[in-house]
Amino acid sequence: MYSYLIYYIPVLVQLATAAGFIAGGDWVYVGIASFPFFALLDTMLPDDMSPRRIKSKSIAYIPIWLATLLSPALFLVAAWQIGQGGLTFWQLAGCVMGCAWMGVVPLVPASHELYHQRSAFARFVGHYAQVCYLDCTRDIAHVIGHHIDVATPKDGDTARRGLSLYAFTGPAIIRSTREAWGAESDALEKRGKGRWSLGHRLYKALVAQGLFQLAIFLIGGWTALAAGVAGVVVARIWVESFNYFQHYGLIRVEGAPIARRHVWNHLGFFSRTMAFEITNHADHHLDSYQAFYRLVPDRSAIRMPSVFVCFLAALVPPLWHNMIIKPALKRWDNEFASAEERKLAREQNGAAGWPDWFDEAPAGGKAAGASQAA
C-alpha cells in the first residue's frame, strides 16, 4: 500500500495549491512555496533506493491522471481568484509562479508518463496537457530525438560541459521547438502531404493553447489572461531548465548503445515521488514503455544531489560546476566512460577550459567504464 500512496504526494500539493488560490491573499504562494520546502526535505533525508512494490498498473496510474488533469485546472482556479479582484501585484506574481511550478512538477513527469504509453487516449491527454508549459508538441522531439540521440551532440537536452544554465535554456527552447516542428513536417511529407498542411500538430497545439487561454479569460478577465500567459511562459523556461541536470556533460559516441551510465539520477525521496520517478530514469532510456513504478534505482551509479538542490546550485554557475558537476564528471570519466567516450570527454573539457583529470585515472578505470553496459 505504501508504494501506491506515496505518489499521491504531488496530487496533495496540487490540491493545497488550489486551496491557497481559493483562500486568496498571501495564501496564493502555497504552490511556489512547496519548491524550497521539498528542496530542504529532500536534502535532509537519505536517498531512497527502494524498488516499488506495485502490482496493479491501473491503480498506480490514478495519481498520474489526477496530476495531469489538476495542473490545467489550477490555472482556471487562479483565474477565478484573480477575477474577484483585490490581489496585489505580488499576490498576482504568486499566482503566476504557483501555476508555473505546478505546470512543471508534477505535470511534466505525469504527462511524460502518459505520452510514452501505447494507449492513443493516454497519449492524446499527455500531448494536450502540455498547454500548461506552452508546448503541446514537445513529446515529438523528446521521443524521436532525445531518446535516440541522448548524450551526443545531436541531443538538445544534453548540455555540453562548461555551459551554464543561462546559456543553455534559451537555445534549448528554440532547438526543441524546431526539431519537433521539423519532425512533424517530415512525417507529413512521407505520407504524401504538404509539410505545413492542416494535419500539422503545430496548428492543433495553437488551437489548444488558444482555447486554454480563452477559458482563463472568460473566467477571470484580462488580468487573469495576462497571468495565464505569464504562467505558461515561465513554466516553459523551467521545463528546459530542469532538462539541464538530467544528462549534463555525459558523453556517448553517436550510434553506440545507450547504457545506464548516460543518465544522471536524483534519488531523494521527494525527487522520486514528486516527479513520478522521472529523476530515476536510467532504465527508462532502455525501455521507454516501462511504467514509472518499475524503474529501479541504479545502485552502481554516481549519486547526484536532490534535483531541487541542483536547480538552485545552477543559478550560481561556479557553485554548480565546482561543487557538484565537475566532481561527478571526473568520476564518470575515470570510472564509467569507455575509451572512445573518454577521448570525446577530454575534448569537451579542453574546450570548456576544465582540468585534464584523465591522467589521474585509477588503475582499471577504463575497463570499469567499458564494462558498465546496459
H-helix or E-strand spanning residue 141: helix 138-141
Q: Provide the pLDDT for residue 359.
A: 67
d(CA 213, CA 135): 14
- Name residues of the chain where pLDDT drops below 50: 361-374
Q: What residue ranges do the domains of the chain occupy? A: 2-305
* Among candidate residues 103, 121, 131, the one with its CA nearest the CA of residue 207: 131
**Grid cell at residue 100:** 508555473
Task: Confirm if 183 and 140 have CB atoms less than 8 A apart.
Answer: yes
* Among candidate residues 367, 373, 369, the one with its CA nearest the CA of residue 345: 369
d(CA 82, CA 223): 7
Number of H helices and E strands in the chain, helices first, is: 18, 0
Task: Confirm if 162 and 353 have CB atoms less than 8 A apart.
Answer: yes
- At 159, which amino acid appears? A
Task: Confirm if 297 and 281 have CB atoms less than 8 A apart.
Answer: no
H-helix or E-strand spanning residue 69: helix 62-83
d(CA 170, CA 175): 9
Other Cβ atoms within 10 Å of 76 Cβ, number: 19
DSSP labels, 144-200: IIIHHHTTSTT-TTSPPTT--HHHHHHHHHHHHHHHHHHHHHHHHHHTTS-TT-TT-
d(CA 13, CA 30): 9
pLDDT digits (tens, 9 = 90+) for 84-137: 999 999 999 999 999 999 999 999 999 999 999 989 999 999 999 999 999 999
∠ CA 65-69-72 to the nearest 5 degrees? 155
Number of residues in the chain: 374
Task: Confirm if 245 and 237 have CB atoms less than 8 A apart.
Answer: no
**pTM, 2 dp:** 0.93
* Among candidate residues 24, 57, 108, the one with its CA nearest the CA of residue 279: 108
